Structure 1
Amino acid sequence: MDWFKHIDWHIWIATIILIVAFREGALWLMTQFSHPELGNLVGLMSLLIVLSLWRFFGHIPSNLIETNNKIMKESAFAFLPISAGSLIMLVHMGEKIPTFLIVLFISTLIPLWVYAKIAKRWL
């Protein structure tokens, strides 16, 4: 429990509030346009734009970056149930699997790759 004492709780709470606020704000905004499914993407892109502007005009605190890296590493386990559900769905899709995989590739892997490249360069 010694590691528990060395956590900067203010930064952890601020980082989580920042992420949740952008996501929920984007979800609310996209719901107003009758497209709530775009909430996560718009939230991610708007957070990226704000952080890029913050980096361009100032300096992002290193403890904020470290906290974000830790959250991203630990949150990978949250995708395991989603992966299991999509595997079950794939079994029932039959001949529509190639189309589904193309859409999945374009809508998920390419934006994540671009986001990683941008984050690596600017953040």
Structure 2
Amino acid sequence: MDQLKRIDWQAWGFTIGLIVFFREASVWVMTQFDHPELGNLTGLLSLLLVLVIWRKFKKLPPRLVDTNNKLMKESGFAFLPICAGSLIMLVSMGKEIPLFLVVMFISTLIPLWIYAKMAKKWL
């Protein structure tokens, strides 16, 4: 119970609200250009851009940084269903598994590593 008292619910709500707002606004904007599939990517990049610009003029609130760090650590569990689906698909792929693994490596691990380096340096 003591753990729940130390959670900054206001910062959590603001952080999640900020993420949802940027994502939904970007999906809406990209829908106007007939490419709603690019909404998530543009939302991520626009939020990163706004935070980098904000950091040039002011310091980011420590509450936002702490909440973001906790959110990034805990969000790994959101990928478990995707991993299960990938495992089922791997079983049925046969000879195409090495190519699939290369594509998975390039399209997930490398961008996440780059994003982590950017966030560490700029945020």
Band of TM-score, shorter chain: 0.7 to 0.9
- Aligned-pair identity in percent equals 68
**Unpaired stretches in structure 1, ≥5 consecutive residues:** none
2:122 corresponding residue in structure 1: 122
Residues 53-62 or 96-105, more deviating: 96-105
- TM (norm. structure 2) is 0.86
**Which consecutive residues of structure 2, in runs of 5 or more, have no partner in the other structure?**
none
Q: Which amino acid aligns with 1:71?
A: L
Aligned to 1:100: 100
Q: Which residue of 1 aligns with 2:80?
A: 80
After superposition, give the CA deviation of every residue in 1:40-61 in whole Å (9 maximum; x if it has no partner).
2221111111111111111101
Matched length: 123
> CA, structure 1 residues 116+98, in 2 after alignment: closer, same or farther (shift >3 Å)?
same
Residue matched to 2:26 = 26
Deviations 1:32-85 (A, max 9, x none): 333333222221111111111111111101111001111111111111111001
Aligned equivalents of 1:32, 1:99: Cα separation in 2: 35
Q: Which amino acid aligns with 1:107?
A: S
Aligned alpha-carbon RMSD (Å): 1.7
1:49 is matched with which residue? 49
Matches of 1:119 and 1:15, distance apart in 2: 16
Alignment correspondent of 2:70: 70
